[in-house]
Amino acid sequence: MYHGAQDGWIEVVSGVMFSGKSEELLRRVRRALIAKKSVQVFKSHLDDRYGGVFQVSSHDGHEIDALPVSSSVQIAEQIRPESQVVAIDEAQFLDDGIVSVVNALADRGVRVIVAGTDMDFRGEPFGPMSKLLAIAERIDKLHAICVVCGDLASRNQRLIDGKPAPAEGPTIQVGGSESYEARCRRCHEVPLVDRQQTELTIASSGPSEAS
């Protein structure tokens, strides 16, 4: 905990899918409510997998009411003056403006709890998460268990018909266990379809003839 009842700060819970990020956010929100704090919870409108867009839900079925948003501006417009704790789930789906919003909230004494997947299915920084991690006072990176080898999982494996999805796919594709697996670095696969096709074409064409 940080010094002073009026001090604001930012805490980020990040990591792979199925690692318990939403459950940890819900745990902190419940504790804030027990402490009689004024709390607001937001989530991306894109995530309606479990409890629908009006709840933050964990994979194990726990949930709490939340306001669905599609942009950082919508969060800023709906913050109540009396709010002491603001929680934001699935922050990777929001725009970079969320960085300014959470900074402004912390500056005015609000405790901000952010949860999100820090890497996309390619293993690259996801949305504004890298910037949120940089400005946070507290960071907790959670891991799942690799479904292939059993080691700690730090990557999201996207699947299409049970096979690794190619890197050329869209960055945002909401899904659960039917579309994603948690994997470690070694077991994570991202086929580069276009690159493989280009290499095959070059290899088959051989050296060009001199003019």
Catalytic residue numbers, as ranges: 90
Beta bridge partners of 113: 11, 87
* Residue 145, φ and ψ in degrees, nearest 5: -110, 130
